């Protein structure tokens, strides 16, 4: 059966464009297929696209996963902004313009490989910590440039090789759960550092004060080591400690200044109890005189230890 050919006029062109737009509105990608008789020579060029016979349209659809909505909402609740890079024609924008649009826009359609990489780097330049999720070959440069590259087990090999994390479950909600667990872990680490730094600073501060008034070593090295060991054992429950909801509402960055402020405030505050204990013990032995007073004070010091001290049978010699 012989086919008949009809020239493509403006009316038919408009109908094809309208049909393509309807498919786009339904979430399809549309590919036009055309043929031409004769031989083609590589490399192909725009001049080869002539005298073509339209054969039809191919439509492709990659629907969002059913868990995408809940995953995006969970990330937003954790203070994580979600941006979809699939593009817009952004070649005409300079870096300053694109940096502003990257903050304002959420969806970029039809991006090339280099354009995705450019958006990631500009977001980093704006001070953001950027995670990138992708599974295609064209996602590899952006995956490598992002602070955290995330891919899936079924992704292209180069995408998986460029990623820091590979999701084994086909459920995007693990992203929100991972962010939440990471924030909880970070919060508990900060708790441990605050408590340890302030405690050690308080110990040193107390010993400096005691050394100025007490004629013997106020604390032996073995005392400090055992005290730190016991203190660390008491903090083994921190990984299971709860974190305030306000802390989880936005991503956090490392802040050494916060640890310094906590240490400088709480360390001397804890030392107040130590100094109070020192004063009471000195007062207890104030009725004695000379070497007898030193021995009395030393005995009380190592058998009735103050805050964060413990009983010891070892006695340090007085200063010569």
The distance from CA 261 to its chain's CA centroid, rounded to whole angstroms, is 23
Q: Tell me which residue has tokens 């441990």.
A: 192
**238 phi/psi in degrees, rounded to 5:** -60, -35
Q: What pTM did the predictor assign? A: 0.62
Q: Encode pLDDT of 225-246 as tens digits.
A: 887 788 788 788 888 888 888 8
pLDDT at 309: 41
pLDDT at 285: 60
- Give per-residue burial for 100-133: e unless 16+ CB within 10 Å, then b: eebeeeeebeebeeebbbbbbbbbeeeeeebbbb
Two tokens, residue 209: 């004060």
pLDDT-derived band at 215 (thresholds 50, 70, 90) equals low
Mean pLDDT of the chain, nearest integer: 79
Q: Tell me which residue has tokens 């070892």.
A: 314
- The residue with greater pLDDT, 152 or 46, is 152
Two tokens, residue 105: 């826009």
Spatial CA neighbour of 156 closest among 141, 138, 135: 135
pLDDT-derived band at 313 (thresholds 50, 70, 90) equals very low
What percentage of the chain exceeds 70 in pLDDT?
82
Two tokens, residue 48: 């080869």
pLDDT-derived band at 314 (thresholds 50, 70, 90) equals very low
Contact 108, 84 (CB under 8 A): yes
Average pLDDT, integer, range 91-113:
80
The sign of the CA dihedral 162, 168, 170, 171 is: negative
Helix (H) or strand (E) holding 158: helix 157-161
């Amino acid at each position: 059966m012989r086919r008949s050919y009809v020239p493509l006029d403006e009316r038919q062109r408009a109908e094809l464009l309208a049909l393509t737009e309807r498919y786009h509105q339904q979430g399809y990608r549309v590919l036009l297929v055309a043929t031409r008789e004769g031989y083609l020579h590589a490399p192909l060029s725009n001049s080869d696209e002539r005298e073509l016979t339209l054969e039809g349209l191919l439509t492709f659809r990659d629907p969002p996963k059913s868990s995408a909505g809940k995953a995006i909402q969970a990330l937003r609740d954790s203070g994580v902004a979600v941006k979809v890079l699939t593009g817009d024609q952004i070649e005409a924008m300079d870096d300053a313009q694109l940096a502003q649009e990257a903050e304002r826009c959420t969806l970029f359609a039809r991006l090339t490989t280099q354009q995705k990489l450019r958006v990631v780097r500009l977001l980093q330049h704006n001070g953001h910590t950027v995670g990138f999720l992708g599974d295609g070959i064209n996602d590899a440069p952006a995956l490598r440039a992002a602070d955290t590259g995330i891919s899936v087990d079924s992704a292209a090999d180069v995408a998986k090789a460029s990623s820091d994390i590979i999701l084994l479950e086909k459920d995007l909600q693990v992203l929100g759960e991972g962010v939440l667990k990471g924030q909880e872990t970070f919060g508990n680490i900060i708790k441990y550092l605050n408590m340890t730094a302030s405690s050690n600073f308080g110990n040193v501060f107390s010993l400096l004060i005691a050394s100025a008034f007490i004629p013997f070593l106020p604390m032996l090295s073995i005392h400090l080591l055992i005290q730190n060991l016991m203190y660390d054992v008491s903090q083994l429950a921190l990984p299971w400690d709860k974190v305030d909801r306000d802390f989880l509402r936005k991503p956090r960055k490392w802040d050494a200044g916060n640890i310094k402020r906590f240490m400088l405030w709480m360390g001397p505050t804890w030392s107040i109890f130590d100094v109070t204990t020192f004063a009471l013990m000195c007062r207890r032995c104030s009725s004695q005189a000379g070497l007898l007073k030193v021995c009395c004070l030393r005995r009380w010091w190592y058998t009735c230890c103050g805050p964060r001290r413990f009983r010891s049978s070892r006695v340090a010699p007085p200063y010569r």
